[in-house]
Each structure stands twice: as structure tokens, then as C-alpha cells.
Amino acid sequence: MKQKFDIITSTCVPLPLENVDTDQIIPARFLKATTRDEKFFGDNLFRDWRYDKDGQPRADFVLNDPTYGGEILVAGKNFGSGSSREHAAWAIAGYGFRVVISSFFADIHKNNELNNFVLPVVVSEDFLAELFASIKADPKMQVRVDVPNQTVTNLATGREERFEINGYKKYCLMNALDDIDFLLENKDKIEAWEERH
Amino acid sequence: MNTLFDKIWDAHVVQNVEDGPTQLYIDRLYCHEVTSPQAFEGMRSRGLQCLRPDHIFCMPDHNTPTHDQDKPIEDPVSKKQVDTLAKNAADFGLAHFGMMNKKNGIIHVVGPERGLSLPGMTIVCGDSHTSTHGAMGAVAFGIGTSEVEMVLASQCILQQKPKSMRININGKLGKGVTAKDVALYLMSKLTTSGATGYFVEYAGDVVKNLTMEGRLTLCNLSIEMGARGGFIAPDETTFAYIKGREYAPKGEDWDKALAYWKTLKSGEDAVFDKELSFDGADIEPMVTYGTNPGMGMGINEHIPSLDTVPESSRVSYIKSLDYMGFAPGDQLLGKKVDYVFLGACTNGRIEDFRAFASIVKGRKKADGLVAWLVPGSWMVDEQIREEGLDKVLEEAGFAIRQPGCSACLAMNDDKIPAGKLSVSTSNRNFEGRQGPGARTVLASPLVAAAAAVTGVITDPRNLI
């Protein structure tokens, strides 16, 4: 959903697993929708880790643990690998996450998050390990993500890191603009390219 | 610099956005039914038409059943998605190869075999295995649905230019070692994120000597190392494959195209951001033992012990082996196999069926084992019958199904039941990929065939 980004301060949901693939984020059988219904995808986020085969919540999965909540998902390295399905980003957004913090993201999924106004924040391995420890010690601890200044802060320890985002995408996020708006404004350049080829 | 990737990329730059991505012109957009409906919906809500409809080709493949395709799809939700693609193609004036159309099949099999994917092109599709088309000497990569909408609307995409990597595979492959094994070997060395942020050019004698089918398999799996895409410089093998195909240039256009394609290679002085070299002789028939494609090993090896795994990765590692029902130190040889799946955009081509048939010829399918043999397209199906492979397979107790993605991701009825072990020629062994609770071992068509006739994981070299 298009929404403007500025500073987000929130508690976190920890998922300290590596190589979380988009098949886990949203299994293929939920990809048959023909509309972009974020609530439907959000309800099925991490479906097979979250519910058993009878549809009952699995008590040991973090989304079913009332201790944790918030707008920030913190995940192990190589988050979003595998399938290009944008439904994974819709599910994350539909569930209510606005930021995903990890030490490494898969390329296609990272773009998909950005195109859906979910901010992927890449931090160092150290920062991530400390953040998982902070959340474990105090599930109510908060993280501040400052988009204008491109900083992420563990408010339990005060540790801060700068994260990368290109100026164009930052402008889009802060002003709730998407790429199609931009491309349509540049139709003359597209036609000029075609003339040359 | 001066890499083939640079040449193709630079030739398609419409503009470089200041402190931002590149606006890249796209020669070919493929749409399948799963990742396109929301893009078309977006086009309608913005009141847009496609800028270049003749650059866009649509076909259903993920939901299509692999039997009775002449009848309506039973699952109403799948049917709606497939019907929606047909309607969207009609409404927006796009080519559409529907079910039962002889041009239908898995989009990544059809594109190359119909001559739609050509050297020097930029090719995208809302599907991570779009990297397959890189085998034609094209820059091809998977995109999300928002990006599909961008291309529908503007024939362009906004992308950060990836870094370049060359992977050289030198020497020769041993007996029973295929392109699939090369790819699984690379993933086991690089992990599923080892090439993230890169576009890979494959080179070296092993790659040069691969057939087009083998090259398509290798490039298909680029994404499983995290790469944005992977490709191979076009050469005589490529040109011979393309010549005469339905949508390939003809006559004077062919001569002109060929002259250009012959210039498509990295310069002698090309500098890559990263360059890796491997020896083909080190590669054995491979199997995966875990729940990502990077967890692979030679078929005779043992699953790595826990102390070889970095501490931060152990929770994930144990979770993965628990799911598979394997333990560190286990060998996969001799493990009972319940299902065999031959097919997918990875290994659903004629050469894969030839390889499978070469092992099962004169043998019988193992008792109790279920085998699904799914051609990648109707064209592959036709070739199988022309070459008489259907007879060989039938005599050994195997049936050929109708084309589609099938059990690779189990969006149709072809689901591996929970707990069952499947040896699959597809591309992903993620938890639940082939059906909730299904356990997948990724392997080549030769390894799959050896399992299919013995009922256990078997080194195919013993059966060649």
C-alpha cells in the first residue's frame, strides 16, 4: 500500500532463521488470487510455519506468541530467497510489517518489498546478532528506523548503523510515489530510444 | 568492464536516473497466469494500454493440469486464474498460447524453442527462472508483479545495474555428469546467496561443449545461487539451434541478426567484479539433502556433520535436516524413494527425456513407486513421440503426462503427499514446495531415472 515513510519506532518480531525463502513466506497454493488483496495474503503469511495441517495455530511459531509484536520483522540472513512471487511482499505488508531488518536480502524480493512500501533495512551481521539478543532479553525493546537520515537504532543498546537506499527510491518512499508514475512521465525518452534502435 | 553483460545492458539503457536505478528497455516480456493478474488490474485502474503489445507473449503453465487438458480445469480457483490470463491478453491485444494450443508449455521452455528468446535481447517475466533464457545469449531475469506492470505500461523497467561475475568451468565432465549436476555443484560451493547482486556469465570448455538443452538447465538455476541472472555468450551451437525456429528471423533479417549476434562476446580485456573457476572433473552426479538447493553433495558423499556448519546457521541446519528426516553423516544412497518427478523448466526438455529413457530402457519401474514424467511443452511431447521414446518409457512402466509446471511447485493437482520422498529434476527443495510436508531431493534426469527403476537413491553410473 502506498504510504509515506519518515521515522518508524516500533517493537520487533524476531525470526532468527537463515535463507527464509518466499515459498515459506507465502506457499504456492495461495498464489491463485487474481486481485491484490493484502489482507488475504497477510492472513496466510508464513502459513505452514504458523498453522498446522488442520489450520490450528502452532504455539511455537513467533507470530502466534503474544510476547512479540510490532511493525518491524527481524530475520536471519538471505531473507526472501527463491521465487520472485511479489505475493510474499504483499503478505508481509498485509500482516502489518512496514520494515524488515536482516543482514542480507535476496535481490528480487528486496525490490518487491520496496515496490510495496515495505522497507528492507540491511544491517551488519554484528548488529543483527545484537538485535536478536536485545529482543530476547526484552521483547518490548524498540528499534528506530529513520528514513530521512538512513539510520537504524537499537534503542536497548543505543547502537546505530547507517543503511543504504538510493536517492530515487528514498524520494519515492518518503513521498508515496511509485515507479510507474515515473516511467509514464518519461515516455518521450522511451520513444527516443526506439528511434535509435 | 567490456563484458558481454555490459554490452547488452548498455545497449538497452534509456536513461540513468540520478542517484537511482537505470531505466532499461525490455525486448521481450513473458506473462504467465500467476504473477500477472494484479499487474493487468493495475493497468486497468490507471486506464493504461500496453505501450508495445507485440513485444509481449502470454501463456498459462503453473496451474495447468497434466491430464485431460481438453476438459475445463476442475479446480475453480485455478480455472479462474487461467481464464483471467486469456481475457487480459485479449483485452490488451497480446499473443496468448492457451491450454491445448500446440505452442503452449512452460514459458521458459517455449520461449527458446519457438525462437522468441534471442541473443542480445533483454527478457523479463514475473518468474525467477526467467534466467533460463540467458542460455540464448540474452540478459534475462525474473521480476515482481509491480515490475511486470511497469513493462506492460512502458516496455521499460527500473533496475539497479548488477555487478558482473564470470564462472569458468574448465575441462571435461565425467560419465553420467550433466548440466544439472554442474549447477547443483556450483550452488553447493557458492550457497544460495553466493551470487546475489551479480549477473553471471558462464564460460569454459564444459559450458562450450554443452548442448542448448544443457545450457538452458544451467542458466535456469542461476537464481538458486542468488544471481540476478546467468547467461552464455552465443556461439555456433546457439545459432544452429535458433535457425529455422518459428519466430526466429528469416532471410535477410537472419543474416543481419547473425552478423550482430557474432559480436556478442566479452572482450579479451573484460574485467569482471568477480571471477571463479572450477574443474569439470571434480563434479559428480549430485543430490540435495536439505531444504534449499545449496544443500547438495556428490551422490556418494555423506551429509556434513554439525561441526562443519557455522554456529549462527545451526538452528536453520537442524530444522532443515529434521524436515527431511535425515541426520548429519547419513548417506543418501539406498534411501527409499516414493516419487520421481521428471520435468519443470529446469529439466523438461527433449534431452532430459532422452537421458531418462536411456537408463530405464530394458528395465522396469520399481514396485510401488509413483513417477510423473511431464514434458515442458507440446513441442517436447511431439519430439518424444517422434523419437519413439514414449514406447521405451511405456515398456518400462512409465506414462507421459501433459505439459506444464506440475509438481515443481504443485499449484495443480500434482502434489507429493506429506512425508513422502521425491527425487525431482526441478529446481527447489524448499519445505512444502512440492506439496505440504513433501520431501524433495533435487537431482539430474539420470539420477531420477536410476531411482525410478531401483526404488532407492542410486548412482546412475552403475546403470549406464
Contact in structure between B341 and B424 (CB atoms under 8 Å): yes
- pLDDT surpassing 90 at residue B1: no
Q: What is the pLDDT of residue B312?
A: 87
Contact in structure between B316 and A17 (CB atoms under 8 Å): yes
Chain A residues touching B319 at Cβ < 8 A: 17
Contact in structure between B354 and B228 (CB atoms under 8 Å): no
What integer is the mean pLDDT of B354-380?
A: 98
Percent of chain A with pLDDT over 90: 94
Q: What is the pLDDT of residue A181?
A: 87
Contact A76 B316 (CB under 8 A): yes
Contact in structure between A142 and A155 (CB atoms under 8 Å): yes
SS3 B46: helix
Q: What is the pLDDT of residue B384?
A: 98
- Sheet with A143-146: list strands edge to edge: A7-10, A143-146, A151-154, A160-162
Chain B residue with minimum CA distance to A81 = B226
Contact B432 A76 (CB under 8 A): no
Domains, chain B, ranges and CATH? 4-274 (3.30.499.10), 286-462 (3.30.499.10)
Identify the H or E element spanning B340: strand B339-342
Mean pLDDT score of chain B, rounded to an integer? Answer: 97
Chain A contact probe: residue of B44, B62, B156 with most A CBs at under 10 A: B156
Give me the residue label for grid cell 534431452.
B351
Q: What is the pLDDT of residue B71?
A: 97
Domains, chain A, ranges and CATH? 7-196 (3.20.19.10)
Query: pLDDT tens across B18-43, in order?
Result: 999 999 999 999 999 999 999 999 99
What integer is the mean pLDDT of A131-150?
A: 98
Chain A residue with minimum CA distance to B126 = A84
Output the CA–CA distances (angstroms, integers) from residue A73 to A128, B18, B21, in the order listed.
12, 31, 26
Chain A residues touching B51 at Cβ < 8 A: 187, 190
Contact A168 B21 (CB under 8 A): yes
Contact B18 A78 (CB under 8 A): no
Percent of chain A with pLDDT over 70: 100
The pLDDT-based confidence of A1 (bands split at 50, 70, 90) is: confident
Q: What is the pLDDT of residue A92?
A: 98
Percent of chain B with pLDDT over 70: 100
The pLDDT-based confidence of A2 (bands split at 50, 70, 90) is: confident
Chain A residue with minimum CA distance to B128 = A84
Q: State the count of interchain CB pairs (< 8 A) between A and B.
A: 194
Contact in structure between B149 and B240 (CB atoms under 8 Å): no
Chain A residue with minimum CA distance to B319 = A17
The grid cell for B319 is 530444522
Q: Any residues with CB less than 8 A from the CB of B115 and at least 6 apart, and which?
A: B242, B245, B246, B247, B248
The grid cell for A84 is 520472485
Alpha helices by DSSP H, B3-49: 4-11, 37-46
